[in-house]
Structures are given as C-alpha cells and as structure tokens.
A and B are shown apart, each in its own frame.
Chain A
Amino acid sequence: AQKITQTQPGMFVQEKEAVTLDCTYDTSDPSYGLFWYKQPSSGEMIFLIYQGSYDQQNATEGRYSLNFQKARKSANLVISASQLGDSAMYFCAMRPGLGTGRRALTFGSGTRLQVQP
C-alpha cells in the first residue's frame, strides 16, 4: 500500500518570497511517481510537477521545483517568488510505476497555502 503524509494543514507566505510544502511518502514499490497538484477554490486539480523515482535530477517547472530525497522518502514542493494567485490547496500524490499495471493516484490530505501581500 502507498501512503502520503502532508503535515502542514496551512501555510502563510509573503508575496515574492519562497515557500516549501512538505510531503513524505511510504511505499513498497521499487518504482513510483510523485506528483504535486494545486486545487484552487474552483475545485479543479491543476498538475504542477512530476518526479520519477529513478530520475537522477530534481524536477523543475518554472517557479516550481521538487526537492526529492529518496532515502528520506520526501518530495517537498518549493515555490519561488510567491504570487497572490498561488493561494490554494496543494496536494502531494504518488502512483506505482507504470510496469505494475496499477494506475491509481494516492493523495495526501493537502496543505492550504495563503499568500499575503
């Protein structure tokens, strides 16, 4: 079974500052993928970034980067230069490697980020 833990129910950050959202995971699968999604109040889950368990380098997508520490089983999301529009719920998720045939994403409980002007 896979498990995702997000220990920060809520976070505040000043506009233009960087913020780190924590995510730890547990799995017995030898390969897996890690994802971060953003959910604004509208409800739609917006894909932000993906990291494969065998990827050598940490993933980056614009202002988003994923700090992947495999030995510690953590996959923290770093948002640089926060903007007011970044205020939303953020979910960490994982899925077994594609070779397993199992496709379901397992989500954490989320972190609500509020960006203050």
Chain B
Amino acid sequence: DAGVTQSPTHLIKTRGQQVTLRCSPKSGHDTVSWYQQALGQGPQFIFQYYEEEERQRGNFPDRFSGHQFPNYSSELNVNALLLGDSALYLCASSSTAGANVLTFGAGSRLTVL
C-alpha cells in the first residue's frame, strides 16, 4: 500500500521563478495538507484541501496557492520565489473518517538561489 508520494524530491530555482510541487495522497485518503519546514525548524501549516476546495489556510502570502484534483491528488504552487522560500515542503494526507492522524510524504526540498 503506497503512502503519500511527492514529486520532485529536490529542485533548484532562482529568485522570481515559479514552482509547482505535486502530491498523491495515501490510498483511501481524501484530504491533503501542505506544510513548509525551514531548516532546523518544525513544519508550518500552509493550507488544506478537501473536496477540491481550500478548507483552511495558514499565515502564508497569496504567492502560495494550491489545487486539489478529483482523484484527491494536489499541487502546491509558489510564485515570485524568494530566498526565504527555500525549505522542505511536506504533503500530508488524511481521511475524513480517521481525521486524527496525518500521513506525511518524504517532502520536496526546494532551494532558491
């Protein structure tokens, strides 16, 4: 049973560029959350998607946007990249029935030069 799959695993961008990160949730899960983890810190909540809609959003600027598809997979888009956007981006999935526990992917490590 595949867990949460994220792609790409690593990528390098330059300031001002745009990036798209992808996430496939664990089988049976319908809710996807995105977290940003800067080096040496705990993850911070970006937003959560359920039924293709953004259900909750953390304290992140509008440069961060997302999408959820009918198959429950999700994308995180970041526009006008800043050096401070360099981080590990973690996707987590859960099911409405078992909403207590999030299953995380291994993350996409973004470096902005």
Q: Measuring CB to CB, which residues of chain A are less than 8 angstroms from any residue of chain B?
A: 4, 33, 35, 37, 42-47, 50, 52, 91, 93, 98, 101-110
Contacts and interface: CB of A to CB of B under 8 A. Distances in A.
B90 A45 contact: yes
Contacts of B44: 107
Contacts of A109: 40-42
B33 A45 contact: no
Contacts of B45: 104-106
B72 interface: no
Contacts of B99: 98, 103
Given A102-B56, A103-B55, A104-B58, A45 B101 contact: no
B23 interface: no
Of B43, B103, B109, the most chain A CB neighbours within 10 A belong to B43
Nearest to A50: B100
B82 interface: no
Nearest to B4: A44
Contact of B102 (A98, A105, A106): A105
Size range of the chain B interface in the assembly: 20 to 34
Nearest to A92: B42
Contact of B42 (A43, A44, A108): A108
28 contacts: A37-B104, A43-B90, A43-B106, A43-B107, A44-B105, A44-B107, A45-B43, A45-B92, A45-B102, A50-B101, A91-B42, A91-B43, A98-B99, A101-B56, A103-B31, A103-B33, A103-B55, A103-B99, A104-B33, A104-B45, A105-B35, A105-B43, A105-B45, A106-B45, A107-B43, A108-B42, A109-B41, A110-B41
A23 to B, nearest CB: 11
A47 B103 contact: yes
A107 B42 contact: yes
A62 to B, nearest CB: 15
Nearest to B43: A107
A49 to B, nearest CB: 10
B24 interface: no
A104 B107 CA distance: 18
